[in-house]
């Protein structure tokens, strides 16, 4: 691993002077993206798996961060894109992706999503649609779709940093393993069955690899069964993503060369391309959030530090009890003391850390919240009618605004521009064409 591309970037590795300049130019809260880090992470991952596997297909899981500059950077680096929703398909295409290279993983897809995907597939037969429910395949067929499909498998094994992301054992995701072979035989008569897919969890580090690889071996065996017993000519077996980054300062980063070797061993002999979908690994440590301290309150229990970022800016600590490293950019060498950092939302969940030792914050200080690139801006909201923040990208020596800060006009636009003639007597959406009754 070269010094230019270390396996992890800690929040203290960012150039604090440059972060300060970005905050002064663009205000806070502010997302700061490093596109060179995005590219380096992808290339490190793809290179390690290319050394361990014969011609793997590495896609980027867009749901981690669909920002156009992220997608453009990865497309330029040679990545294909895996999408989990209609909007992600549209954003990937807008960023320059060839629709014939896209993979759409449908999870309980709304009718509008399937409409769009089926129409896209009619014009671009290279599109692949992955589904984890028989019902979804039936709905596709009713739309006239007979193109490329993959079966999402539920291996019954989940891994990852939180039970809410252990998808491999969640009944919501995938066809039960013992039903896949029969479904594959059926689908070969109705579609172009090209793949088997599974995603077992998110945030996988070295301690999770045994379970992760056990799930991969299970899926590989299912694929072999489909090939040998059903004669399916599978183009690929997609083992999803889930590869993690160390959020805690004392956690070791993944050695992706070791991970690639472990995955290769788990896959074994397989007459199909091995596909992978890193998301978090590519973008998590490539972005930070800058927040300004506005309140410092001493209480008998602790020192409470208020900032202008909130759970509307970054919801992961509230949603997953996630740890995000925090650094005092303004005074990194100041004496450390335990503080609790929270935002302006009227809920006790709006807290980024509790009693954590930080360089003592003062009003006006700039704090950086690390590892914000994965599921950060993606899950940002307008809670409390807070406009969502701006996002800038560090690209070499330049700093580029890639997403402007919302205003209150943006927050209220969908109400202010509403045409009353489109509201039915029941308050329904009478102007939306409902093409299919199955919903």
Q: Which residue has the tokens 């089926």?
A: 118
Crossing angle for the helix pair 111-123 and 134-142, to the nearest 10 degrees: 60
As given in the structure block, the two tokens for residue 359 are 């360089």
Strand bridging mode 192-197 / 148-154 = parallel
Q: Report if residue 20 sits inside a domain.
A: no
> Which pLDDT score is estimated for 422?
54
Contact present, 227 and 176 (Cβ < 8 Å): no
Q: Does pTM top 0.75 for this prediction?
A: yes
Same domain, 234 and 325: no
Structural domain count of the chain: 2
Domain that holds residue 223: 98-276
- Listed residues 276, 306, 338: the one ending a domain: 276
For 317, the token pair is: 């600590």
Q: Give the three-state DSSP class for 112.
A: helix
Question: In this structure, what token pair is assigned to residue 414?
Answer: 């969908």
Domain co-membership, 216 together with 267:
yes
If asked whether residues 308 and 268 sit together in one domain, one would say no
Residue 74 CA to residue 277 CA, distance in Å, equals 13
User: For tokens 């999770």, what's the residue?
Assistant: 208
Is the residue at 171 inside a domain? Answer: yes
Q: What CA–CA distance (Å, rounded) separates 103 from 261?
A: 25
Q: How many residues does this entry show for the chain?
A: 439
Distance CA 201, CA 212 (A): 8
Closest to 262 measured CA to CA, from 214, 319, 202: 214
pLDDT at 159: 53
136/159 same-domain check: yes
The DSSP secondary structure of 145-213, one letter per residue, reads --SEEEEEEE-S--EESSGGG-GGG-TTSSEEGGGHHHHHHHHTTTSEEEEEE---EESB-GGGHHHHH
Q: Clarify whether residues 198 and 320 are in a common domain.
A: no
Q: Is residue 115 part of a domain?
A: yes
Count of C-beta atoms within a 10 Å radius of residue 178:
9
Q: Do residues 291 and 259 share a domain? A: no
Positions annotated as catalytic residues are 346
pLDDT of residue 409: 96
- The span from the first CA to the last CA of the chain, in angstroms, equals 49
HSE-up of residue 226 (Cα within 13 Å, Cβ side): 36
Q: What is the per-residue pLDDT for 430?
A: 40
Name the 3-class secondary structure at 302.
coil
Q: Are residues 142 and 232 in the same domain?
A: yes
For residue 345, what pLDDT is reported? 97
User: Of 276, 298, 328, which residue is a domain's last?
Assistant: 276
Shared domain for 328 and 263, answered yes or no, is no
Query: Strand 80-83 and strand 103-106: pairing?
Result: parallel
Note whether 326 and 253 are same-domain residues.
Answer: no
Q: What was the pLDDT predicted at 2?
A: 39
pLDDT computed for residue 138 by the predictor: 97
DSSP tag of 388: P
DSSP code string of 34-101: EHHHHHHHHHHHHHHHHHHSSS-EEEEEGGG---HHHHHHHHHHT-EEEESSHHHHHHHHHTT--GGG
CATH of the domain at 376: 2.40.37.10
pLDDT score for 393: 98
Contacts of 325 (CB under 8 A, 6+ apart): 10, 11, 12, 247, 248, 249, 369, 370, 371
Nearest to 151 by CA among 167, 121, 128: 128
Does residue 334 belong to any structural domain of this protein? yes
Q: At what angle do helices 35-52 and 256-267 cross, to 10 degrees?
A: 40
* 269 and 295 inside one domain: no
Does residue 193 fall inside a structural domain? Answer: yes
Are 322 and 404 in a shared domain?
A: yes
Tens-of-pLDDT digits for all 439 residues of the chain? 334 678 999 999 999 999 999 999 999 999 999 999 999 999 999 999 999 999 999 999 999 999 999 999 999 999 999 999 999 999 999 999 999 999 999 999 999 999 999 999 999 999 999 999 999 999 999 999 999 999 999 886 645 443 434 444 456 768 988 899 999 999 999 999 999 999 887 778 888 788 888 889 999 999 999 998 888 899 999 999 989 999 999 999 999 999 999 999 999 999 999 999 999 999 999 999 999 999 999 998 889 999 999 999 999 999 999 999 999 999 999 999 999 999 999 999 999 999 999 999 999 999 999 999 999 999 999 999 999 999 999 999 999 999 999 999 999 999 998 865 555 444 444 434 445 556 6
CATH of the domain at 104: 3.20.20.10
Distance CA 423, CA 233 (A): 50
Q: Do 130 and 235 fall within a single domain?
A: yes
């Amino acid at each position: 691993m070269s010094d230019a591309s270390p396996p992890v970037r800690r929040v203290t590795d960012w150039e604090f002077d440059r972060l300060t300049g970005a905050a002064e130019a663009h205000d806070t809260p502010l997302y700061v993206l490093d596109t060179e880090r995005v590219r380096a992470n992808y290339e490190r991952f793809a290179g390690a798996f290319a050394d361990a596997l014969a011609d793997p297909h590495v896609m980027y899981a867009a749901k981690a961060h669909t920002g156009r500059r992220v997608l453009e950077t990865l497309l330029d680096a040679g990545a294909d894109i895996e999408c989990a929703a209609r909007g992600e398909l549209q954003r990937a295409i807008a960023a320059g992706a060839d629709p014939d290279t896209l993979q759409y993983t449908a999870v309980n897809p709304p009718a509008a999503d399937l409409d769009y995907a089926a129409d896209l597939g009619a014009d671009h037969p290279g599109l692949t649609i992955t589904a984890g429910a028989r019902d979804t395949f039936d709905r596709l067929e009713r739309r006239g779709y007979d193109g490329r499909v993959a079966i999402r498998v539920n291996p019954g094994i989940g891994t990852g940093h939180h039970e809410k992301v252990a998808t491999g054992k969640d009944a919501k995701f995938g066809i039960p393993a013992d039903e896949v072979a029969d479904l594959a035989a059926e689908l070969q008569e109705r579609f172009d069955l090209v793949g088997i897919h599974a995603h077992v969890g998110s945030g996988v580090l070295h301690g999770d690899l045994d379970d992760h690889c056990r799930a991969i071996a299970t899926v590989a065996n299912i694929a072999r069964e489909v090939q040998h017993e059903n004669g399916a000519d599978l183009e690929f077996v997609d083992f999803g993503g889930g590869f993690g980054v160390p959020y805690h300062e004392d956690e070791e980063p993944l050695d992706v060369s070791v991970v690639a070797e472990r995955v290769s061993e788990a896959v074994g002999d397989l007459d199909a391309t091995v596909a992978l979908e890193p998301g978090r690994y590519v973008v998590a440590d490539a972005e930070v959030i800058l927040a300004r301290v506005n309140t410092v309150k001493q209480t008998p229990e602790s020192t409470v530090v208020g900032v202008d970022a909130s759970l509307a800016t970054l919801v992961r600590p509230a949603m997953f009890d996630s740890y995000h490293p925090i650094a005092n950019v303004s005074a990194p060498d100041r004496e450390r003391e335990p503080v609790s950092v929270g935002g302006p939302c009227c809920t006790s969940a709006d807290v980024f850390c509790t009693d954590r030792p930080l360089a003592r914050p003062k009003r006006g200080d700039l704090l950086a919240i690390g590892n914000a690139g994965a599921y950060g801006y993606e899950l940002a909201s307008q809670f409390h009618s807070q406009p969502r923040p701006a996002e800038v990208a560090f690209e070499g020596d330049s700093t580029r605004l890639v997403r402007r800060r919302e205003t209150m006009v943006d927050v209220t636009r969908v109400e202010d521009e509403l045409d009353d003639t489109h509201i039915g007597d029941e308050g329904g959406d009478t102007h939306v064409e409902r093409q299919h009754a199955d919903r």
